[in-house]
Chain A
Amino acid sequence: MTSTTRIRRAGAPRVAGLGFLAPFAIVFALVFLAPIAYALFLSLFADRLVGGVQFVGLDNFARILGDARFWSGVGNVVLFLLVQVPIMLFLSLLVALAIDSGRLHGAAFVRLSVFLPYAVPAVVATLMWGFMYGDRFGLVRSFNEILGTSIASPLAPDTVLAAIGNIVTWQFVGYNMLIFFAALRTVPTSLYEAAEIDGAGELRVITAIKLPAIRGALVIATIFSIIGSFQLFNEPSILRNLAPNAITSYFTPNIWAYELSFSGQQQGLAAAVAILMGILTAVIAYLVQLRGMRKEQR
């Protein structure tokens, strides 16, 4: 409570504060709040090819919740969340700690190389990996030929989620690494000196000093990853051209919402999916944050 309480010359600063926030708030209302409100409105109606628009109340929500396709999509993103996010964050953390340890040859090069994929647009990354995943003419075939293996294309139904996970991991491992690394850099040297005097080993320094120091960064990275997972869309949607059977029209809730809205012209159902997913995401992100804070206060 240090910063804000002291500024208390009521009146002008308060108005000025609102003024500084206003540009963001106005645009935010226009491009975020208004569409959300509109989606809420749309979710109460059904628009039919024959018969036109009809008020249906909460019917759309009931139908989505009762549809196995919704839960199949949710299942996919939850699985993705439980597997891909930990792997990616762990890898990011590992690289960040390795670079920060000062025991690495060519640390600057590693840092940059790992970060570069972040600069590659998701479209390009997916097209690229799609080319490489091919087991008939792509890189997978080349490897099979050279190594005499018979790795199948990762775009089969059983592995396609992993194939997508790989693309996402590749794109974002460097981004998260940087956040962790940047956090590690601000740990005051005095703490390390104290640890050294105490004779603490490398591992002990990591668990006792470094990890607690970057907890905030860990939590925020986790939350953004959760949101990213729940909104999974670009990668599977572009890969659908290559794996139309493995990636169904309800593969993730977001793809389903897109299909409902653009192939089926069912705006009401699509809006209901969006709203349900928004609620689900917010609840889970909030729980993660609570947990992160509780540990912190211990």
Chain B
Amino acid sequence: MKHHHSTALRAGAIAGASLIALAGCSAGTQDPDAAAEAGGTLTVWAWEPTLEAVVEAYEAENEGVDIELVNAGTGNDQYTALQNAIQAGSGVPDIAQIEYFAVPQFAIADSLADISELGAADLDGTFAPGPWSAVSQGDAIVGMPMDSGPMAMFYNAEVFERLGVAVPETWEDYLQAARDLRAADPSVSITNDTGDAGLATSLMWQSGAEPFTVDGTTVGIDLEGDAARYAEIWQPMLDEDLFAPVSSWSDEWFAGMNDGTIASITTGAWMPANLESGAPDAAGDWRVAPMPQWEDGGAASAENGGSSLAVTAASEQAALAYDFLEYATTGDGVQLRLDAGAFPATTADLESQEFLDVEFEYFGGQQANQVFAESSANVVDGWSYLPYQVYANSIFNDTVGQAYVGDTTIVDGLAAWQEQIDAYGQEQGFTIE
């Protein structure tokens, strides 16, 4: 309600992108501390529930600052809203939560402010490498990592034990375990999958593939080489109907994890809170193990999910916004969020003994953070997402997803996906290699 009074100004700011946004700070200051001192009003769009406590604490510390935290939708819903607002040139928030995979899309459109001059340039090393590289776009830093999702395998140990199946350490073991579980109990699936772009790209990432290379507006796409390696495991899984054909986040998914018919989930380290609330009956049965490996004895990992907080180019309060960002992602806000169950992106926390020693009741007292921290340290270097990953993901199920309903294979689906994202990229003016 508070953000539609200066249409013309904002439209101008958008046209001129980050430069104008920085130069045009209404408070006339580039110093975040001074900006916080001077006070002002910020609008933050985020769906992350743990931010509420952070906002309250920040407001208590900075009396002149009033922060309006708005849940403008989860994930794509919010991006739609944000893009609409940016296009309309009004109602753009000062700060928006943006998942790592979507950061390049907003960065390339000059919708995000470069915050390196405001202090972010000095933060190299503060955050885990995966998240940090995700918010670094060329020389610019366009966001602050809020949390991260180093991957691990969450599994229902009780089910594995009852059915006499060993917990897999490699992807080949995983395939065999999937067969064994099913043979031992036809109602059990090792995991669910109905085609999930986020999971597929994370699997590619872990395998060391670099299907997307980005250099300015030149984009390379190769989904037919190394990137297709995960199909070696996934295709037999599909052919033998080993996946539970249940979409993640559906009621059936939670029900399956709750009653043991979905025996494992390979996903980001933010998962525990979701298991606790969504699969309460299975408390104590689940454990966490490192992600299955492509090589015996390997330790490669990838990120899955996780978000940054970014200052929009349209914000007239970049310095103040940055001050809040700093508080929320590297300052006192971090601990508040960790206490509420978030998973950190800050190296100091990932390495702190207190963090590593936390015993998860849900995981039978396991110190699961040790697994996550190790995964975080082993995230494979060199990954990047497309500058239009949001669009690419939106057509993943049109192409690769068709392999899940028997109309094609994953490899062919990947080829079709490549073809369509090639075409879109060209249409949008990128140079495709």
A and B touch in the complex (CB under 8 A): yes
Give the docked Cα–Cα distance between A71 and B155 (Å): 44
User: Is A245 within 8 A of B108, CB to CB?
Assistant: no
User: Is B405 within 8 A of A242, CB to CB?
Assistant: no
User: Is A245 within 8 A of B429, CB to CB?
Assistant: no
Name the one of A48, A153, A249 contacting B429, with C-beta atoms under 8 angstroms: A48
Binds A, one of B17-25, B35-43, B350-358, B391-399: B391-399
Name the one of A136, A138, A262 contacting B261, with C-beta atoms under 8 angstroms: A136
Which residues of chain B have C-beta atoms less than 8 A from A49's C-beta? 108-109, 387-388, 428-430
Which residues of chain A have C-beta atoms less than 8 A from B250's C-beta? 241-242
B residues contacting the other copy or chain, number (CB 8 A): 38
Give the docked Cα–Cα distance between A243 and B402 (Å): 11
Give the docked Cα–Cα distance between A46 and B259 (Å): 50
Q: A49-B387, A263-B390 are in contact. Are A241 and B427 (CB under 8 A)?
A: no
Q: A48-B428, A51-B429, A138-B252 are in contact. Are A244 and B401 (CB under 8 A)?
A: yes
Binds A, one of B207-215, B241-249, B282-290, B333-341: B241-249
- Cβ proximity bits A217-246 to B, threshold 8 Å, 1 near / 0 not: 000000000000000000000000111111
Give the docked Cα–Cα distance between A45 and B197 (Å): 30
Q: A134-B251, A137-B251, A241-B249 are in contact. Are A48 and B427 (CB under 8 A)?
A: yes
Name the one of A137, A153, A249, A265 contacting B395, with C-beta atoms under 8 angstroms: A249
B428 → A minimal CB distance (Å): 4
Which residues of chain A have C-beta atoms less than 8 A from B259's C-beta? 137
Give the docked Cα–Cα distance between A259 and B420 (Å): 14
Which residues of chain A have C-beta atoms less than 8 A from B395's C-beta? 249, 263
Which residues of chain B have C-beta atoms less than 8 A from A248's C-beta? 397-398
Which residues of chain B have C-beta atoms less than 8 A from A156's C-beta? 405
Interface residues on A, range: 20 to 34
A47 → B minimal CB distance (Å): 9
Give the docked Cα–Cα distance between A51 and B76 (Å): 24
Q: A49-B108, A249-B394, A259-B394 are in contact. Are A242 and B80 (CB under 8 A)?
A: no
Whether a CB of chain A sits under 8 angstroms from the CB of B404 is yes
- Cβ proximity bits B399-418 to A, threshold 8 Å, 1 near / 0 not: 00110110100000000000
Name the one of A46, A138, A245, A265 contacting B397, with C-beta atoms under 8 angstroms: A245
B32 → A minimal CB distance (Å): 31
Which residues of chain B have C-beta atoms less than 8 A from A245's C-beta? 194-195, 397, 401-402, 404-405
Give the docked Cα–Cα distance between A249 and B420 (Å): 13
Name the one of B217, B245, B394 contacting A50, with C-beta atoms under 8 angstroms: B217
User: Is A136 within 8 A of B244, CB to CB?
Assistant: yes
Q: A134-B251, A136-B246, A137-B252 are in contact. Are A249 and B398 (CB under 8 A)?
A: yes
Whether a CB of chain B sits under 8 angstroms from the CB of A264 is yes
Complex A-B, nearest 7 residue pairs according to Cβ-Cβ distance, in ascending order: A50-B429, A51-B429, A263-B394, A245-B401, A137-B255, A48-B429, A244-B397
B residues in contact (CB < 8 Å) with A: 76, 80, 83, 108-109, 194-195, 217, 244-247, 249-252, 255-256, 259, 261, 387-388, 390-391, 394-395, 397-398, 401-402, 404-405, 407, 424, 427-430
